[in-house]
Amino acid sequence: MTGGPLPGVPVGAAPLRLRGRTFGDDAPVVMAVVNRTPDSFYAAARHDESTVDAAVDRAVEEGADVLDVGGVRAGRGPVVSEAEEIARVLPVVRRVRTRHPDLLVSVDTWRSGVARAVADAGADLLNDTWAGHDPALVEVAAERGLGVVCSHTGGATPRSDPFRVAYPAPEGVDPIDGVLVDVVTTLSAAAARAVALGVDPASVLVDATLDFGKTTWHSLHLVRNTPKIVQIGHPVLMAISRKDLVGETLDLPAEERLEGTLAATAVAAWLGARVFRVHDVAATRRTVDMVAALRAERAPVRTVRGML
């Protein structure tokens, strides 16, 4: 819109491309969370077969670009087998493909077996929130022409909670930047592997994976250093929504973390993040579109004030 970057405005992340659709600076991407789980940390995101379709419809109406379907709680809880995970998410993917053919579909899983099943059903993106715990998952993305999210957990295994986690800084680096160095190094290597296997570079997302294998101090430091993650050269995904970094910062339960989430989302968007994984689609849609306008990347819908 301006003919070039504005002075003082951080450079935006690389464009995102999924299923032939490209999202550039003028199109921040909202990824709606719909969990087929009975025990997600945020009760409003828990859905069974009787409520999941309505949740999907609502996400579409509120402006979601991508639907992220999960079948296993991220934290500790009852064991969910691969077969049970597939039984939870596969019908949702199939129905979305039929009922909302233009909606992009992501599946939040660390298992390559689940990845193959949802790829056959028409998924567009594999959201591997456990940092390549199953190294074959990214191979599925390459074989099936899907996108993949490369994440960072500091070596944490699936469904574990962080405990006194630390990231020593390399010699000569400020100690507070230890986590940032580890995140950038890990994500750069994971993204390079995905590209080497054949995943489209514009379909490789990088996610610092806030809260996973991190303290609240770590997560806050990563959000304020979003430009360093942008410099990796792939679309940056931020999953901030109602997480503990917001709850601990403001001393609030998950049900009261919307304002804090939107504040952090606005900062990440201003600093160049491209994709936002959220529970509150309409509020996030308005927030990131407003930030894009402030960055001079998106035009106002109407501009009649002072003109009539």
Q: Where are the domains of the chain?
A: 28-294
> In the prediction, which pLDDT does 255 show?
97
Closest CA to 221 of 174, 170, 179: 179
Which letter does DSSP use for residue 12 in this model? P
> In the prediction, which pLDDT does 3 show?
57
Q: At residue 243, what are phi and psi to the nearest 5 degrees?
A: -75, 175
> In the prediction, which pLDDT does 43 show?
86
Closest CA to 121 of 130, 131, 132, 109: 109
3-state secondary structure of 51: coil
Quote the Cα angle for 137-31-29, to 5°. Answer: 110
> Looking at the domain 28-294, which fold is it?
TIM Barrel (3.20.20)
Say which residues have a Cβ less than 8 Å from residue 305's Cβ, sequence separation at least 6: none
Q: Where are the alpha helices (DSSP H) in the chain?
A: 52-61, 82-99, 112-121, 136-144, 178-197, 216-224, 226-230, 244-250, 258-270, 281-294
> In the prediction, which pLDDT does 114 show?
98
The label of the residue with tokens 């053919």 reads 101
Q: How far apart are CA 47 and CA 267, in angstroms?
A: 30
The label of the residue with tokens 């999960």 reads 70
> In the prediction, which pLDDT does 2 show?
53
The pLDDT profile of the chain, 308 residues, written as one tens digit per residue, is 555 667 788 988 899 999 999 999 999 999 999 999 998 899 888 999 999 999 999 999 999 999 999 999 998 889 999 999 999 999 999 999 999 999 999 999 999 999 999 999 999 999 999 999 999 999 999 999 999 999 999 999 999 988 899 999 999 999 999 999 999 999 999 999 999 999 999 999 999 999 999 999 999 999 999 999 999 999 999 999 999 999 999 999 999 999 999 999 999 999 999 999 999 999 999 999 999 999 999 999 999 999 88
> In the prediction, which pLDDT does 231 show?
97
> In the prediction, which pLDDT does 308 show?
85
Q: Where are the alpha helices (DSSP H) in 100-173?
A: 112-121, 136-144
- Contact predicate 308/299, CB 8 Å: no
> In the prediction, which pLDDT does 1 show?
58
Say which residues have a Cβ less than 8 Å from residue 306's Cβ, sequence separation at least 6: none
